[in-house]
Structures are given as C-alpha cells and as structure tokens.
Amino acid sequence: MSSKGSVAPFQLGNETKPRSRFGRYVAAALLLAGSAVWTLSQFDAPVEYLHSAKAAAGLVHISLEDRCPQSSPLIPAGNKETWDDIRDLVGSDNFKTKAIDWLAGAVKIPTQSYDGMAAPGADARWEIFGEFHAYLAEAFPLVYKSLSVKKVNTYGLLFEWTGKDTSLKPILLAGHQDVVPVHPNTVKEWTHPPFSGHFDGTSIWGRGSADDKCGLVGILITVESLLEKGFQPTRSVVLSFGFDEEVSGPQGAQELAKELKASYGEDAFALIVDEGSGYVDTYGTPLATPGIGEKGYIDTRVEIAAPGGHSSVPPPHTSIGMLAALLVEMENNPFELKLNKDDILYGTIQCAAAYGKSVPEELKDAIEWSLYSQKGMHALEKIIFQDKLMSSLVGTTQAIDLINGGVKTNALPEQAFAIVNHRVSTLSNVDAVKARDTNVLKHLAQKFNLTYTAFDELISTGAPEKTLVLSEAFGHSLEPAPLTPTSGAESAAYKLLSGTIKATYNAHHGVDGDNSIAVAPGMMTGNTDTRYYWDLSPHIFRYNHQGSFGKLDKDGKIAGGIHTVNEHIKVDSFLEMILFFTTLILNADEADL
C-alpha cells in the first residue's frame, strides 16, 4: 500500500485516543473499534428529540439493519466440491508449512522501491525484482505453466488464466511486488531481521509480510492450489502485479493499466480486487469494510518572488515573511467540515451500529436522529469530529509539508515556496480545491501588492517585481475515485464480495449465521494501484481479508508493523486470506456478473 495516508483508531466516549503516528491506512471500521462509553450529555439534546423527529417524519421506528442490508454467506454451488477440497487443504498441517515457506521466501527478497527511481534499465536498484520473478517462477510452476505470463515495463507482471467461456467478463486480482524501504538505522529495532522471513510459530516476520506480499503470494498460492485440483475456470481470471505501488505506481500499475486497456478494453472486467482493508472486531462483532472509493489529492505550490538585496536594508515583508502569512491564512481557514449522508463514513457508522453486539442504545439513537433531523446530524458531527482521523475521512484536508526559501543570512530571499498537500473529499473535486486555495489568499495578495496568478489564471495585478503564483506541484493531481455501487441494479459485484467474505469467515472460524461477520462499505485515507484501473471496471474493491487488520497493540501501534519496524502477519490470518481468494474465484466463476 502506498504511503498516501496514515491511520489511527477512534475510540468514542471517555476512552483514551492514541496519538501515535502511523504510515498505513486501514478500513474506516477501525475508527469505531473499542468499548466506548456513551452518555446523553454528548449530544447537547435529550433523546426525546429523536422521538419527536420520528413523529414529525410520520415514522415510529427505523431499523439500522434496513439501512445496511447484508448478503447471506455465499458458498460456491457448482464448484462446491473444489471449494471443500481447498478448504480441507488449507486446514492441513502440510499446507500450512508450505504456505509459510512460500511467503517467507518472498519476504527474503528485498524488493524495495524508492522515491525518484529512474526507469528500469537506468536504475540498478530495480534489478532485485528480476530475482523475485525467478523465485515466483520456481515456487509456482503450475501457474507459470498453465497461465499466460507477460512482463510489462520489465518488471510488471500480468497473468491470464483463460476461462472456458471467453464471452464472460474476467475478474482482475491485483497486488504489488515492492515494499517500503527499511531504514538502516531501524534494523536493530526489529525483533527478527526485516528480510529474514522468520516464522516464530505464530507469525511470519519481515518487510512485505503484511503489505503486500501476503496478498500477491496468497493469490498465487490460490491459483496454484486450484490447478493442482484440476480446476479450470469458466470465467477468465487476470492477475496484475505492479512493482512501484509504494511510490504511487507510475512505472508499474500505470503501465499495466495501459496494457490491460489495450488488451481487454474499457469496462472489461466484472470486478477488480486490490489490496486494502480487512476486518476487525467492532462493538463485539467482526466488521469487514471493503474500500469502495478513495480520496483524490492535489499538491498546491505557493510561491512568492520579490526583489533581492542586502538584508541590512530590508523591506517591511520579505518573500519568506509574506509566504509565512499566506500559509498561516490557509491554516486559519481550513476546509468546511460537514458530515453528509452521502459520505462513505456515514454508511460505515450505520453498519457498525446495526450489527455490533455491544453497541450502546445511545449511539443507535444518535445515528437514527441524524437520519430525521439536521440537529441530529450536527450532534453526530460533534462526536465524530472530536477525532482528527474521522474528520480527515469526511472532508478535504490540507497539510503544509514542504517549505523552501533563502540562501544566505545577509541576502534578502528572492524566492520562497511551500507545498500544501490536499486530500480531496470523495464528494468534492480538484477544481473546487483550486478555487478555494485561490480565493483564500486574494486579500493578502492585495495587501502585499503582489501580482497574483493562480493555476495559470491572472487573479490580480500588483507590483510587477512582486509575484504570487499558485500551481500544481509536480504537475499532477488525482480526482476522487468513482464510488463502487453497493445497492440497486449495479450492486451484484458488491453482493458477491460480501457473501464471499461471510462464507470465508464462517468456514475458517467454524461458525454459522448470516451476521457472524458484518460487511460495510469502507474507505481508506490513501490510494492503491487502482487509481490507474478506473476505466477497467466500475466495480473496484480495496480488500484482502486480513483478520484484525490495523488493530492496535498494547503500545498504541498498529499491529502488524505495516510501514514500520516489526512488520509481520499471523499465519492463521494468511491462511484465511488464501481461502478468501479461493472462495472469490469460485463464486465469481458461477455468478451472473
């Protein structure tokens, strides 16, 4: 997963909110994890307002379950025998040993990707990926024998498992080969060396074990195992593995997407599943939150130019001083934070409240009140917006991350600039962010007599030798991802995924029931390689079924060490992931998509 976001848990009520910084995103359901203590005093209004709002709406009761309908567990029908065989296989000690070895072998190859790497062939650091390819070919001989394999831009991998009925839209399973670099100064902090692939009897340790070699290797183990059982799909299965996702995928997934579009066409896939969230216990019930959307982003460059000279004869405001004032103005005027019923997070909260076994009635009342009344929505906002991560999932954010100016203490700085990173709300767009940035600085441009240009448009004229320029830093931005349909006529893929999640969980944990695990639409704070796959399918999910994915440990850190020291994955979670991919392929093979 790319480092385009960070996560933290949200615990409501009087629980302590950990404030450690993390380099990974997780499902929005994690924000609701914890044993919260709710009191009516948090709402600034008695619960009676809820009942009066219901009466005014002509309704006596609303069921949160109706607001978050659930699919039943979906067990393959025509492929039931194959599914039973793989389920038994995954549960065997021999298979467990092989699975550990498969993932450990992949972790041992340090396929690190770095910012600013040149193209393959021009940067020797890519060459380790050739070794990784050789490992995969040796580890999964049936995959390489039975599937077509194509390399794109040297290290991107495309596999096609051609189905018997090529008129059916294939499914696309994605992952990435690269991992976040391990800083040499942190190696001593690892319990087990970062590229050891060590198995301690419970977990497999090392960089990439949880992000995302478990997903890539899990998919290949699934296909290898199905081939061993003689399974031949009716619907084609395509695998796409990029090699620079951790640096936003310009050479990997972007080139793979071009190849996929050229080979298959637009809207060619029935569904796409890439790395993403998993499930975590939420109010006493496991909650899975497949990502159905992603925020966009734009980096705004704010640049001041002013005459230089000797600092002993300074003007009232240097370029750095003016830039500082502009940045303070932006921080003092954040984007409006408002919870909308169309926000993905609003749906996640409803599902958590509907199916959590230990959800306080006050929480349910608060959410119901928000359905009927704007006052109720404001009350719910007050609770949610106490936490900065909850807030960041809802609105557009801004963060001043880079600044530069000046070259010498006795020389007036002729230029100064800063980069402001924005994560664009799923209900907004890049142009709206540009307009806001432009407008919020207008009065200061006039105050400092600056000639102001914003995104190639002249906004106001001041002194010609003093300029303010806003532009897209690095020359690119990203609109929010299209939202995957979860209801109505276009929701068949979401229902199939939901039923697959439930069948997998029940089978692996030996439980029954439609709601032993609940499924809710979710969203991450960052982006995956799917940013390049939007044209390929409207049904894109960021999900890989890791159990307790992102759950906090006793020190307030994300369990699993994703993007930090001591990354690891429990072997039981890895085995369940393999069963998930198996169930998904078999269900999709016989579904009407």
- CB-based contact 168:71 (threshold 8 Å): no
Which pairing describes strands 237-242 and 156-161: parallel, antiparallel, or unpaired? Answer: antiparallel
- Smallest CA-to-CA distance from 420 within 311, 520, 301 is with 301
- Smallest CA-to-CA distance from 216 within 528, 534, 553 is with 528
Contacts of 438 (CB under 8 A, 6+ apart): 454, 455, 457, 459, 470
pTM equals 0.89
Which tens digits make up the pLDDT trace of 435-475? 999 999 999 999 999 999 999 999 999 999 999 999 999 98
Question: What gap in Å lies between CA 425 and CA 344, rounded to an integer?
Answer: 10
Active-site residue list:
178, 245
Q: Is the per-residue pLDDT at 89 higher than 50?
A: yes
- CB-based contact 175:274 (threshold 8 Å): yes
- Smallest CA-to-CA distance from 71 within 576, 521, 580, 484 is with 521
Q: Which helix (H) or strand (E) holds 419?
A: strand 415-424
State percent of the chain over pLDDT 70: 87
CATH class of 296-335+396-478: alpha beta
Overall size of the chain counted in residues:
593
Which tens digits make up the pLDDT trace of 323-344? 999 999 999 999 999 999 999 9
Residue with tokens 């040149």: 118
Phi, psi of 43 (to 5 degrees): -100, -5
Instruction: Tokens for 27, please give them.
Output: 């499902």
Question: What gap in Å lies between CA 179 and CA 21, rounded to an integer?
Answer: 19
Phi, psi of 522 (to 5 degrees): -135, 180
Residues of the chain with CATH 3.30.70.360: 296-335+396-478
Residues of the chain with CATH 3.40.630.10: 90-115+134-278+525-589
pLDDT score of 524: 82
What secondary structure does DSSP assign to 248-293, as a single string?
A: T-TTTHHHHHHHHHHHH-TT--SEEEEEEEEEEEETTEEEE--B--
Question: What gap in Å lies between CA 496 and CA 73, rounded to an integer?
Answer: 9
Which pairing describes strands 540-547 and 271-282: parallel, antiparallel, or unpaired? Answer: parallel
pLDDT score of 4: 40
DSSP state of 231: -
| 49-58, 112-121, 289-298: least confidently modelled range | 49-58
What secondary structure does DSSP assign to 426-439, as a single string?
A: TTS-HHHHHHHHHH
Residue with tokens 């408002």: 338
Helix, strand, coil shares of the chain as percentages rounded to 5?
40, 20, 40
pLDDT score of 98: 98
Which tens digits make up the pLDDT trace of 372-426? 888 889 888 988 888 777 788 999 999 999 999 999 999 999 999 999 999 999 9
Peptide bond between residue 267 and the one before it cis (omega within 30 degrees of 0):
no
| 23-37, 422-436, 469-483: least confidently modelled range | 23-37
Q: What's the average model confidence in pLDDT over 143-156?
A: 98
Q: Is the per-residue pLDDT at 31 higher than 50?
A: no
> Per the annotation, where are the binding residues?
176, 211, 246, 274, 563
Q: Which helix (H) or strand (E) holds 454?
A: strand 450-454
Average pLDDT over the chain, rounded to an integer = 89
Chain Cα centroid distance, residue 520: 15
> Per the annotation, where are the binding residues for Zn(2+)?
176, 211, 246, 274, 563
CATH number of 90-115+134-278+525-589: 3.40.630.10
Instruction: Tokens for 157, please give them.
Output: 């991998």
44 confidence band (pLDDT: 50, 70, 90) = very low
365 confidence band (pLDDT: 50, 70, 90) = confident
